[in-house]
Amino acid sequence: MSDRVLRLENVGKTFGRHRALAEVSLAFVPGQVAAVLGPNGAGKSTLLGLLSTLSQPSRGRITLGDEQLSRHSPMRAKIGYVGHEPGVYGDLSARQNLRLFASLYGIANGERCIDEMLARVGLDSVRREAAARTFSRGMLQRLALARALLHEPEILLFDEPGAALDPAGAAWLAGELQHEREAGRLVVLVTHDLAATAAIATHVVVLRRGRVARDETRASFSADEVRAIYQEATREKS
Amino acid sequence: MKRVSWVSQAARIAWKDLHIEGRSREVVYTMGFMAALVVLVFSFAFISGQETTVGPDAVAGIMWVAVLFSGTVALSRTFDRERESEAIRSLLLSPVPRSAIYAGKLVATAAIMFLVEVLLAPLLAALFSAAIWPHALWLGLLLLLGTIGFCSVGVIFSAALLRARSRDALLGALLFPIVIPVLLSASRATAYLLDPAAPDLDPALFWTRFLAALDVVFVVVGLWSFEPVVMGE
């Protein structure tokens, strides 16, 4: 796994006259799970959009190692993204979805990788021709993770991946995140779930009104520590 | 990772759409129904009693009106599968050039439309006694060129309206004025081809070439403009 740092330098993003992010400077390090927290409208999803290259910063720059991340950059092939929605084709089966993305990414030994990935996310026993639209929410999220990991990305981005998952699904996902962290991958997770954050995060960023209100890295966080950091960072100053 | 060529990536996207359509046949059925309905409505209006012959100009017009309306149905569904479950994000994050996504979508949509049109032509021949067979291949080429021109613009608008709430209503309003040159040249060439009394086919050849030139312009503009349109910034 690469040891390149994902760095944001004075990044700002505006939509018309609305300022979504301002002067955001952060560094995300491989082998850590960074949780980006904040109230609604704090700019979390905007930040993830910028990191995924699907959106361009209005100012500042984002780099991975020495290379700049931008919409046109081939670096986007090094990103895996799991969002609220699974990002797969409902009319295709799990295997067909993975086969499509394997071919688009030019993955050598595609079929073997697909078999391994389906086994890893527990979808290997699903009926081969079952369309993804017939899957439960948990199964779709497993397929989304398989799609995001298929090309062995350097950066893994998650936008509320546990939303709408049952406790068993959320626990499975936390285990997978842990696994990716231990494998040395760079993981950035946007979430509202403070308890889940405490279980897996080693880097906590709190955004408030588009700015970094807190940026803290530790070997581990307790749930109380995450809650305290969050509350302090998002408290209105009188 | 292997390097995958632009053509191969575009072909995979087109194949994926055709594979899904082959399974569901949603677009073919709705498009076919719409096209047949348009032709039937015109047949009720133009055919009375024993009089079943309608002039080639009118048949050409009917054919291309049917293509226009049924094609809009197909285009409105072009990005539906990408919109569901946000598959478009996965596609845009993949290393596929956005122009290859456009090309794949264009090929798949045009192929589905062309299939329906090939079935529509004999219906026109049967209902309006249109002389489609003497120049069947040329007529097929015209349908193909007209469909490519129509889809090359339509795929761009369909992508632009990906997240618009009233996209079905907006698509026609935006698309129809732009594709007027395509429809004009296609219907003029078709009218000359269907006219058994035409002294020569030079005008049909002129309009066919004009249509091919329009296709080249529209496809090049589409390849160039798809990325800013679909990225939405």
Q: What would the pLDDT profile of A56-102 be if each residue is shown by its tens digit?
A: 999 999 999 888 888 877 788 899 999 888 999 999 999 999 999 99
CA distance A232 to chain B (A): 34
- Supply the pLDDT for residue B46: 83
Q: DSSP of chain A, one letter per residue?
A: ---PPEEEEEEEEEETTEEEEEEEEEEE-TT-EEEEE-STTSSHHHHHHHHTTSS--SEEEEEETTEEP-TT-GGGGGEEEE-SS--S-TTSBHHHHHHHHHHHHT-TTHHHHHHHHHHHTT-TTS-TT-BGGGS-HHHHHHHHHHHHHTT--SEEEEESTTTT--HHHHHHHHHHHHHHHHTT-EEEEE-S-HHHHHHH-SEEEEEETTEEEEEEE-S---HHHHHHHHHHHHSPP-
Among A54, A86, A96, the residue with its CB nearest the CB of B85 is A86
In this complex, is the C-beta atom of A130 within 8 Å of any C-beta atom belonging to chain B?
no
Is A92's CB within 8 Å of B94's CB? no
Percent of chain A with pLDDT over 70: 98
CA distance B221 to chain A (A): 19
In this complex, is the C-beta atom of A54 within 8 Å of any C-beta atom belonging to chain B?
yes
Q: Which amino acid is at B43?
A: S
Nearest to A58 by CA among A15, A2, A8: A15
Decide if pLDDT at A238 tops 60: no
The CA distance from A43 to A45, in Å, is: 6
Best of A46, A56, A71, A89 to substitute, by most chain B Cβ atoms within 10 angstroms, is: A89
Asked whether the beta carbons of B80 and B17 are under 8 A apart, the reply is no
- Supply the pLDDT for residue B198: 75
- Cβ contacts of residue A153 below 8 Å, gap of 6+? A77, A78, A79, A80, A185
* B200 against A25, higher pLDDT: A25
- Supply the pLDDT for residue B51: 67
A139-196 pLDDT, tens per residue? 999 999 999 999 999 999 999 877 767 788 888 888 888 888 888 899 999 988 888 8
In this complex, is the C-beta atom of B165 within 8 Å of any C-beta atom belonging to chain A?
no
Q: Helix, strand or coil for residue B78?
A: coil
CA angle A234, A236, A237 (to 5 degrees): 120
Q: Which amino acid is at A228?
A: A
Q: One digit per residue, pLDDT tens: chain B, 233 residues?
A: 778 899 999 999 999 999 999 998 999 999 999 999 999 999 988 877 666 668 889 999 999 999 999 999 999 999 988 998 899 999 999 999 999 999 999 999 999 999 999 999 999 999 988 888 989 999 999 999 999 999 999 999 999 998 888 888 899 899 999 999 999 999 999 999 998 887 788 999 999 999 999 999 999 999 999 999 998 76
Is B89's CB within 8 Å of A76's CB? no
Is A52's CB within 8 Å of B93's CB? yes
Provide the pLDDT confidence category of residue A203 given band limits of 50, 70 and 90.
very high
Q: Which residue of A has its CA nearest to B14?
A: A100
The CA distance from A122 to B55, in Å, is: 64
Is B20's CB within 8 Å of A76's CB? no
The CA distance from B217 to B27, in Å, is: 27
Question: Which residues of chain A neighbour B85 with C-beta distances below 8 Å?
Answer: 85-90, 132, 140
CB pairs < 8 Å spanning A and B? 86
Is A104's CB within 8 Å of B24's CB? no
- Supply the pLDDT for residue B53: 65
Question: Which residues of chain A neighbour B96 with C-beta distances below 8 Å?
Answer: 104
In this complex, is the C-beta atom of A141 within 8 Å of any C-beta atom belonging to chain B?
no
The CA distance from A111 to A102, in Å, is: 9
Question: Which residues of chain A neighbour B84 with C-beta distances below 8 Å?
Answer: 89-90, 133
Among B12, B23, B84, the residue with its CB nearest the CB of A103 is B12
Q: Which residue of A has its CA nearest to B7?
A: A104
Q: Which CATH number fits domain A6-88+137-144+153-234: 3.90.1150.10, 3.40.109.10, 1.20.1250.20, 3.40.50.300?
A: 3.40.50.300
* Domain coordinates in residue numbering, chain B: 6-231
Percent of chain A with pLDDT over 90: 58
Among A85, A90, A108, the residue with its CB nearest the CB of B1 is A108
ipTM of this complex? 0.89
